[in-house]
Amino acid sequence: MKDLVTLVAEHPFFEDLAPAHLALVVGCAQMAVYKKNDYLFKYGDDAAYFFLLRYGRVALELTGPGADSFRFQTVGAGEVLGWSWLFPPHQSQFDARVIEDARVIRFDGKCLRAKCDSDPVLGYDLMKRFAQVMVRRFADTRLQLIDVYGKQGR
Amino acid sequence: MASKAADVIGTQPLLPQPWVVSEVTRETDDVVTLTMDPGSGAAPMVFRPGQFNMLYAFGVGEVPISISGDPAHEAQLIHTLRAVGFVTRALCALQPGDLIGVRGPYGSHWPIEQHAGRDIVLVAGGIGLAPLRPAIYHILSHRDRYGEVALLYGARKPDELLFPDEFDAWRKAGIQVEITVDNADACWEGRVGVVTTLIRHGRFERTAASAFMCGPEVMMRFAAQELENQGVTPDKVFVSMERNMKCAIGLCGHCQLGPEFICTDGAVFALPRVQRLMTIREL
Ligand SMILES: Cc1cc2nc3c(=O)[nH]c(=O)nc-3n(C[C@H](O)[C@H](O)[C@H](O)COP(=O)(O)OP(=O)(O)OC[C@H]3O[C@@H](n4cnc5c(N)ncnc54)[C@H](O)[C@@H]3O)c2cc1C
Ligand code: FES
């Protein structure tokens, strides 16, 4: 079985991470398994963690009182989930529900923030990685918003 | 690749042949598949994946619609149409036994045979799966000629997916079928997100892959960008373009996009030929 260091190093999100930084981030990581319908987090929770998915699929949902939940994105193997841990007020913005049994690497946000504060090079590297994910998600969201398969998308 | 105006002029090119609707399949709320047999005087049609016909709803009008059936089955003609306006609404309302006017096949085709030996990525959005389905049937009949084959298909909602009953058979035949929808409720257990996200995760050899795309132009632009980011060069990417048509044989200029006539130079183009044109608002 692969150890945590190898699993983190092999995950696409941490591709080419410097060995010294790898050791630092692994110090805040642990493996976790979630079953179908478990929540990784819910709207308004303290955003204590972020997750690298190794297997399975997680749905991001918004729900209102008495309403069905609206599923606006899914995240699967090889992807990263959660950036609210990086920014105040460190609160989750939606629900993250497992829809296919998931194996993840879970990172403690507080632990990582402390390491980023004391090692700005690591902080900058992490910030760049998350910024890239965010830019992609925003671009994807734009495509969803213009309803590309409807008449507007022609 | 393209059919020339000169080939069809002189054979009453604008005269539709009568075909008889034999089956109507409701695919989604606004999409219907028509299966047709040749009517009296009409001959079975030989076509290549990606070509289109002009379909005439008698007394209403004529529109270009891609063929969505199996090119190996000439005796029947299959088209899948979305009701968006006068003509397509009239065509979608046809019943078994009704007559329909057909002329074609027209236009270029997916150059799938020239890409034998390579991995194949089919990127479809919404109704765009219909024009790609003949290419899928071709691949299924010649599966050993291709490497990895991935169908990456995006739709607006789960109940707007076309041909879901065929996905299992395609998977069993060795096609990786990846589906995503733009939004869904909690009953949907598949992916939610835009089709470009599938390109990032598709199992194909980036430098040995050829891609065939059909869907809204905005989607194709972003998908082409993502394919290039992943290492698929634009000269290995083919797109199917849509413009309103009248003659479909290169005479009227109705379908012109810059220097290209979509009806005879396309509708299937190698991406470098139309990539810049796809971004010019005035065209
Ligand atoms: C080569 C080619 C192949 C095509 N293949 C198919 C196919 O396989 N299946 C299919 O359903 N359609 C296909 N189309 C599109 C189809 O030709 C048009 O939807 C049709 O011409 C619309 O005619 P209409 O009279 O029904 O609508 P119109 O009265 O012309 O238009 C009514 C409204 O619908 C909008 N509209 C028109 N066309 C579209 C469209 N394509 N998508 C979204 N909104 C539209 C118009 O902007 C307008 O607002 C193809 C087009 C081309 C050029
Ligand atoms: S439709 Fe007449 S030239 Fe293309």
Query: pLDDT by residue (tens digit) across B162-178?
Result: 999 999 999 999 999 99
Are A76 and B194 a contacting pair at CB < 8 A? no
In chain B, whose CA is at the least distance from the CA of A75?
B191
Kindly list the structural domains of chain B, giving each domain's residue range(s) and its CATH number in brackets, ordered by start.
Answer: 17-106 (2.40.30.10), 119-240 (3.40.50.80)
pLDDT-flagged residues of chain A (< 50): 152-154
Check if CATH label 3.40.50.300 holds for domain A4-149. Answer: no
Nearest Cα of chain A lies from the Cα of B13 at a distance, in angstroms, of 29
Residue owning the nearest CA to atom 14 of ligand 1: B65
Nearest Cα of chain A lies from the Cα of B10 at a distance, in angstroms, of 35
Query: pLDDT by residue (tens digit) across B193-237?
Result: 999 999 988 888 888 999 999 999 989 999 999 999 989 999 999
Closest Cβ–Cβ partner in B127, B183, B216 for A71? B183
Residues with CB under 6 A from ligand 2: B 245-248, 250-255, 261, 263
Atom of ligand 1 nearest to the CA of B243: 53
Please report which confidence band the pLDDT of residue B12 belongs to, taking 50, 70 and 90 as the band edges.
confident
Query: pLDDT by residue (tens digit) across A70-92?
Result: 899 999 999 999 999 999 999 99
Nearest Cα of chain A lies from the Cα of B145 at a distance, in angstroms, of 30
Cis check: omega of the bond before B267, within 30 degrees of 0: yes
Whether the per-residue pLDDT at B2 is higher than 80: the answer is no
CA dist., res. B250 & res. B230, Å (int): 36
The interface residues of chain A toward chain B in range 48-87, judged by CB-CB distance below 8 A, are 57, 59-61, 68-74, 76-78
What is the per-residue pLDDT for B278?
80
What pTM, to 2 d.p., does this model score? 0.90
Q: Are A78 and B199 in contact (CB under 8 A)?
A: no
Residue owning the nearest CA to atom 13 of ligand 1: B65
